[in-house]
A = this chain, B = another copy of it.
Amino acid sequence: MRKLGRELGVEAMSLYNHVPNKEALLGGMVEVLIEGLEIPAATSGGWEGKVREAFRSYLKLARAHPEVFQLFATRPLGTGEALRIFEVLRGAGLELVPALQAFRALSSYTVGYALAEIRGFPLELEGGPRALELAPPLKEVDRDAQFDFGLDLIISGLRQKLDPDGAQGDPPRRSRRGPEHQ
């Protein structure tokens, strides 16, 4: 509070005229962060693409504001914040319960991945003599690819559950009741 006051050219105590306490201030920062989430308009590729883009944009936010994101990740979640992303799943055509399960799975993964990236991957997993030989895959993590790897694992798992006769990513056969029709 004292430092923030200084930054604003004011004494720390003045802040209490505008904010109840420090906790509320941090909460507000988190709120602003979440409001900044850009949910991309529907692209081609059905709900999968839409969901993938939404969570990529989630990760982008975490990368842009790692400190605030860490606050966010360990703070009780306001329902409004969750709704932003939940609506993507619903809007993509998922029923209530599957949408909820999917929402929790996808946001758990995304939050966990973002934190892992922020705090840094354990790069040098093997310190032994083979370290140099193994260096390439360990040293430089392709962050986008690593995130997509897990994200697509979950998304295609969801697709199979929701649409068991859909093809594996090849040109889709006619699906009896595709979730993409709202």
Interface residues of A (CB under 8 A from B): 70, 73-79, 81-83, 86, 96-97, 100-101, 104-105, 107-113, 115-116, 118-125, 127, 134, 137-138, 141, 146, 149-150, 152-154, 156-158, 161
Q: What residue in chain B is nearest A120 (Cβ atoms)?
A: B76
Besides A79-B124, A104-B141, 14 other A-B contacts (C-beta < 8 A): A74-B115, A75-B119, A77-B116, A79-B125, A81-B122, A100-B138, A105-B146, A107-B116, A111-B112, A111-B115, A111-B116, A112-B113, A152-B157, A156-B157
Which of B108, B118, B122 is within 8 Å of A78, CB to CB? Answer: B122
Taken together, the copies of this chain in the complex come to: 2
Query: Nearest residue in B to A150 (C-beta to C-beta)?
Result: B105
Within 8 Å by CB of A137, from B96, B108, B109, lies B96
Contacts of A121 in B (CB 8 A): 77, 104
Looking at A79, A150, A156, which has the most chain B CB atoms within 10 Å of its CB?
A150
List the B side residues contacting A111 at CB < 8 Å: 112, 115-116
Give chain B nearest CB distance to A158 CB in angstroms: 7
Q: Give Cα A124–Cα B81 distance, bound, in whole angstroms.
A: 12
* CA A3 to CA B159, docked complex, whole Å: 52
The smallest C-beta distance from A168 to any residue of chain B, in angstroms, reads 9
**Contact assessment for B158 and A154 in the assembled complex, using a CB-CB cutoff below 8 Å:** no
**Which of these, B100, B109, B123, B134, contacts A108 with CB under 8 Å?**
B109
- A73 CA to B158 CA in the complex, in Å? 26
> A125 to chain B: which residues have CB within 8 Å?
79, 82-83, 86, 100
Q: Which chain B positions have C-beta within 8 A of A110? A: 112
A75 and chain B: residue at smallest CB distance: B119
